[in-house]
Amino acid sequence: MRTGHPDMRISKLLLFFMLTCTFLPPSSPDPNDESCLTHLFQSFDDPNKNLHNWTKSTFSNPCSDFTSTLAGATCNNGRVYKLSLQNLDLRGSISPFISNCTNLQSLDLSNNSLAGPIPVELQYLLNLAVLNLSSNRLSSAIPPSLAMCAYLNVIDLHDNTLTGTIPPQLGSLVRLSVFDVSNNKLSGPIPASLGNRTGNLPAFNASSYAGNKDLYGYPLGPMKSKGLSVVAIVGIGLGSGLLSLVLSFTVVCIWLRSKEQKRAAEQEGKIPQLMPDY
């Protein structure tokens, strides 16, 4: 079958590309980004109106090439790939719909007052390389499913109120070069997969884990013995022994003295009776 001269086909192809480039907008709106941004904005509380130009009309098309019309957002190929919303005094929480920003590579919400849990839905952000949620009021456990984000380089969760244990699964993130969970309320053993990384994987020192009262194991110290130390028990034993000795001695003294006084009084009373009147 003949489809025309090869040169003609190539020029037709060129014409087609030229037409599509002319008539398609440089970045087509993405329904996922729209859903992500809409819900994220709803879950944030922004008392200082730092996100004043995050308006509903911009969510459907937040990108024009590399620049975004939204403060803190950066685009690539018409998709949001970076959200840098640090130091904005944001309150509220992080919407699970963050997972709809599927091209996100960097999420920095650090140094705000965000509360609630770290959404487990972050596991769907398969391109995520940087996660900085430090200096917030985030609570609950660190989701083990974060280990699904295989490109994670940075997990910075310091200065929050996270509880529970550190998921050992995070040790499987071979690209991880920064890991900081210091100053939280984490407990339990530091997984060897993170605390004592083998091979040429970057290791994390004690400063990554410091400030968690009930966290233990290398590179921190061993488990603190529950309850009182031996010194404290001996001290309390000796102290209370001495105290009861002093107390009983005092009681005996008082008893003896009052007995003596009684006897003296009795003798004083007896003397006038025995003595004849002159």
Ligand X SMILES: *[C@@H]1O[C@H](CO)[C@@H](O)[C@H](O)[C@H]1NC(C)=O
Q: Residue numbers of the site for ligand X (CB under 6 A)?
A: 31-32, 35, 53, 69, 71, 86-87, 89, 96-97, 99-100, 110-111, 121, 132, 134-135, 154, 156, 178, 192, 196, 198, 205, 207, 218
Q: How far is CA 260 from the centre of its chain?
A: 71
For ligand X, the closer CB: 111 or 267? 111
For ligand X, the closer CB: 3 or 208? 208
Please, what is the minimum distance in Å from the beta carbon of residue 225 to ligand X? 18
Residues present in the chain in total: 278
Please, what is the minimum distance in Å from the beta carbon of residue 219 to ligand X? 8
Please, what is the minimum distance in Å from the beta carbon of residue 166 to ligand X? 15
Please, what is the minimum distance in Å from the beta carbon of residue 162 to ligand X? 15
Q: Are 143 and 167 in contact (CB under 8 A)?
A: yes
Rounded Cα distance between 95 and 78, Å, is 22
For ligand X, the closer CB: 147 or 160? 160
Please, what is the minimum distance in Å from the beta carbon of residue 32 to ligand X? 5
For ligand X, the closer CB: 89 or 260? 89
Rounded Cα distance between 71 and 197, Å, is 39
Please, what is the minimum distance in Å from the beta carbon of residue 178 to ligand X? 4
For ligand X, the closer CB: 166 or 259? 166
For ligand X, the closer CB: 156 or 166? 156
**DSSP result, the chain:** -----HHHHHHHHHHHHHHHHHHS-SS---HHHHHHHHHHHHHEE-TT-TTTT--HHHHTS-EETTEESSTTEEEETTEEEEEE-TTS--EE---GGGGG-TT--EEE--SS--EEEPPGGGGG-TT--EEE--SSEEESPPPGGGGG-TT--EEE--SS---SPPPGGGGG-TT--EEE--SS--EEEPPHHHHT--TTSPP--GGGTTT-TEEESTTS-PPPPSS--HHHHHHHHHHHHHHHHHHHHHHHHHHHHHHHHHHHHHHHHHHHHHSPP-
Please, what is the minimum distance in Å from the beta carbon of residue 23 to ligand X? 25
For ligand X, the closer CB: 167 or 204? 204
